[in-house]
C-alpha cells in the first residue's frame, strides 16, 4: 500500500519510527515532512498528507502532531478526505470499519511508539464492508461535497486551520492551556492530567510496560498509580455480592479512576448510574461463569447488558464444545456476542478459561475469536482451578496481536508484582478484585516510571 505520512516537530520522532515500521511491512512510504524537530506549523503538513490522499498519490495517510486533534480538523477540510483521530486500537478499528477513514491522525504526546504501530496496523488492515456503514459513509461524502469550496492555497499559519484571526501568541496560550489540561510528557514520563483517564484504552504507558520499559525509581505517589488504575477492571463477581458491596466498588472506582467496574448483569444498571459523569466504564459478564448457555441466549444477555449501560462485555466460551472439537459451534457462540457488541458500540472480550485447556485448544479458540472479530481474549473467570499465567498470556498474545486484538489477564492477580508479570508477557488489561492493593503497592517505596 502507498502511504503518505507527515508530522510537525512534535511528531517528527514518531513519524520516523512509523515510517520504518511501514517499510518493514512492505508498504511504500511518501514522506511529506517535516524533516527535523525545528518548530513548524502542523496545518502545513496535515494539508500535504490530505491532498496526497485526495489526489490519489497515496491510498491512506497518516499525520502526527502533539495531540492529533488539529491535524484531523485540517485534513477534513480537504474534499475527499475522511480523517479520524485514534488513540487506541478500538478507535482505529472503528474509524475504518464504520467511517471508511482514509487518513489517520495521531498525538505523539498521548501515545508511545509501540501502541502507535499497533494502531497503524489496525487502521491499514481493517475494511469497511457492512452495508449500513457504507450507506452512512456515502452520507458523509454528500455533506462534504455540499459544503466544500474550491481548494485554495493554505499558508503555513494558524489561519490555515480555520482559526480566523488568532495570532501566534493566542495559539501559544491555547497550547499552554491544553498542556495543563492533558498533562505533559517530560523525559518520557507522563505527568498528571486526565489524558489516560479520558481516552479509552489509551495504554501509552501500558504498551510501553509490555515492551519492558517499566523501571523502578524513587516513589512518586499519585502519579503513576493513577494511570495504572486505568488499565484495571475493578471486579466483583462473587455470588454473594450485596448492594452494599457493589456500592463500595463503585465508590472505589470513582476514587481511583479504574478502567471499568466489572459486575454480574443484575448490577449493570446500578453501576452505570453510579459511575455516570466519570471516565470509568461499566463492564458486564455474559454466560458467566460456566459458558454453557446457548449462543442466542448469550446474544440476548449481551444486548440487555448494553441497554442497561454496559460498555464492555466479558463472555465465557462453551469450553465443553471446544474440547469436543466443535469449533463451528464455538465460533457461533462467540459471534453472537461480538455482533451484539458491534451493534451496541461495546468492547467484546472472550474468556477462554485457560486452566481447562491445552495449548492447542488455547490457540484454536484465539483463532476463533479473531474470526469473530472480538476486541480481547481473556484468560479466566476466576472460578476455575487456575487463573492467569504469564505463559498463557504470551501464547495468547502471539496468536492475536497481528489482528489488532488485545489480551486481558484475570484470575489470581493479587498484587503489583503479579500485574507486572502479566504486562511483561503481553497483557494490555488486568481484571482484579485486589485492584486497590495493586495500586497501593505501586505507591509504595518503589515508584514506577516509564522511560522514553
Which of 333, 311, 330, 310 lies closest to 322, judged by CA? 330
DSSP secondary structure code for residue 323 in this structure: H
pLDDT over 80 (residue 230): no
CA 285 to chain centre: 20
CB burial of residue 154 (10 Å; 0-12, 13-18, 19+): buried
Same fold across 2-161 and 204-450: no
**Which residue would you say has higher pLDDT here, 214 or 50?**
50
Phi-psi domain of 324 (left: phi exceeds 0; alpha: psi -120 through 50; beta: other): alpha
Q: Cell numbers at residue 274, please?
A: 453510579
Cα–Cα distance for residue pair 102/123, rounded to 1 Å? 9
Give the HSE-up count for residue 387: Cα atoms under 13 Å, Cβ half-sphere.
17
Residues 305-359 pLDDT 10s: 999 999 999 999 999 999 999 999 999 999 999 999 999 999 999 999 999 999 9
Mode of pairing for the β-strands spanning 447-450 and 214-217: antiparallel
Phi/psi at 427 (nearest 5 deg)?
-70, 145
Element (H, E) at 132: helix 131-147
Cα–Cα distance for residue pair 352/296, rounded to 1 Å? 19
Which range has the worst mean pLDDT, 198-207, 352-361, 386-395? Answer: 198-207
CA 102-33-78 angle, 5° bins:
40
Cα–Cα distance for residue pair 332/338, rounded to 1 Å? 10
Q: Which CATH architecture has domain 2-161?
A: 3-Layer(aba) Sandwich (3.40)
Phi/psi at 372 (nearest 5 deg)?
-85, 0
* pLDDT computed for residue 175 by the predictor: 52
Residue 275 confidence class, pLDDT cut points 50, 70, 90:
very high
Are 9 and 38 a contacting pair, CB within 8 Å?
yes
Of the chain, the percentage scoring pLDDT greater than 90 comes to: 62
Cα–Cα distance for residue pair 316/366, rounded to 1 Å? 13
Which residues participate in catalysis according to the annotation? 314, 378, 408
Residue-wise over 412-435: b if at least 16 C-beta within 10 A, else e?
bbeebebbbbbbbbbbbbbbbbbb
Residues 139-186 pLDDT 10s: 888 886 654 444 443 333 433 344 445 555 655 555 555 544 444 333
Which of 306, 365, 297, 374 lies closest to 335, judged by CA? 374
Cα–Cα distance for residue pair 129/125, rounded to 1 Å? 12
Break the chain into its structural domains and give their ranges: 2-161, 204-450
Are 408 and 427 a contacting pair, CB within 8 Å?
yes
- Mean pLDDT, range 356-372, rounded to an integer: 96
Q: Does domain 204-450 have CATH number 3.40.50.2300?
A: no
Question: Which of 38-47, 153-162, 178-187, 224-233 has the highest mean predicted lDDT (pLDDT)?
Answer: 38-47
Residue 83 confidence class, pLDDT cut points 50, 70, 90:
very high
Cα–Cα distance for residue pair 180/174, rounded to 1 Å? 10
- Mean pLDDT, range 367-387, rounded to an integer: 94
Are 436 and 205 a contacting pair, CB within 8 Å?
no
* pLDDT computed for residue 172 by the predictor: 57
Amino acid at each position: 500500500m502507498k502511504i503518505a505520512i507527515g508530522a510537525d516537530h512534535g511528531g517528527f520522532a514518531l513519524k520516523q519510527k512509523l515510517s520504518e515500521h511501514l517499510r518493514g511491512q512492505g508498504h511504500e512510504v511518501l514522506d511529506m515532512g517535516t524533516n527535523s524537530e525545528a518548530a513548524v506549523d502542523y496545518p502545513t503538513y496535515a494539508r500535504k498528507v490530505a491532498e496526497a490522499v485526495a489526489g490519489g498519490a497515496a491510498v491512506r495517510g497518516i499525520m502526527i502532531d502533539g495531540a492529533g486533534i488539529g491535524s484531523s480538523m485540517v485534513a477534513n477540510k480537504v474534499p475527499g478526505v475522511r480523517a479520524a483521530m485514534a488513540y487506541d486500537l478500538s478507535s482505529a478499528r472503528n474509524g475504518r470499519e464504520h467511517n471508511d477513514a482514509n487518513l489517520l491522525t495521531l498525538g505523539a504526546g498521548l501515545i508511545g511508539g509501540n501502541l502507535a504501530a499497533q494502531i497503524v496496523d489496525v487502521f491499514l488492515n481493517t475494511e469497511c464492508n457492512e452495508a449500513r456503514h457504507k450507506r452512512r459513509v456515502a452520507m458523509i461524502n454528500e455533506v462534504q461535497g455540499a459544503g466544500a469550496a474550491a481548494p485554495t492555497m493554505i499558508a503555513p499559519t494558524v489561519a490555515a486551520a480555520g482559526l480566523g484571526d488568532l495570532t501566534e501568541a493566542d495559539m501559544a496560550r491555547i497550547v499552554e492551556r491544553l498542556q495543563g489540561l492533558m498533562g505533559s510528557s517530560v523525559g518520557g514520563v507522563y505527568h498528571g492530567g486526565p489524558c489516560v483517564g479520558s481516552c479509552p484504552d489509551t495504554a501509552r504507558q501500558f504498551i510501553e510496560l509490555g515492551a519492558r520499559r517499566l523501571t523502578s525509581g524513587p516513589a512518586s505517589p499519585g502519579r503513576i498509580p493513577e494511570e495504572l488504575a486505568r488499565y484495571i477492571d475493578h471486579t466483583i463477581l462473587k455470588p454473594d455480592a450485596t448492594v452494599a458491596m457493589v456500592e463500595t466498588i463503585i465508590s472505589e472506582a470513582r476514587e481511583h479512576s479504574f478502567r471499568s467496574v466489572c459486575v454480574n448483569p443484575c448490577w449493570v444498571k446500578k453501576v452505570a448510574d453510579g459511575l455516570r459523569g466519570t471516565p470509568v466504564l461499566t463492564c458486564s459478564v455474559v454466560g458467566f461463569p460456566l459458558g454453557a448457555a446457548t449462543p442466542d441466549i448469550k446474544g440476548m444477555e449481551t444486548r440487555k447488558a448494553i441497554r442497561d449501560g454496559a460498555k464492555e462485555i466479558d463472555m465465557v466460551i462453551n469450553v465443553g464444545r471446544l474440547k469436543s472439537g466443535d469449533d463451528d459451534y464455538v465460533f457461533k457462540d462467540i459471534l453472537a456476542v461480538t455482533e451484539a457488541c458491534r451493534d451496541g458500540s461495546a468492547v467484546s472480550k472472550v474468556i477462554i478459561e485457560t486452566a481447562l485447556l491445552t495449548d492447542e485448544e488455547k490457540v484454536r479458540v484465539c483463532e476463533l475469536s479473531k474470526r469473530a472479530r472480538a476486541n480481547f481474549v481473556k484468560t479466566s473467570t476466576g472460578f476455575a482451578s487456575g487463573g492467569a499465567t504469564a505463559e498463557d498470556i504470551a501464547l495468547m498474545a502471539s496468536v492475536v496481536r497481528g489482528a489488532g486484538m488485545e489480551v486481558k489477564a484475570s484470575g489470581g492477580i493479587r498484587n503489583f508484582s503479579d500485574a507486572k508479570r502479566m504486562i511483561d508477557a503481553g497483557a494490555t488489561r488486568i481484571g482484579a478484585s485486589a485492584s486497590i492493593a495493586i495500586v497501593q503497592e505501586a505507591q509504595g517505596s518503589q515508584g514506577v516510571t516509564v522511560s522514553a
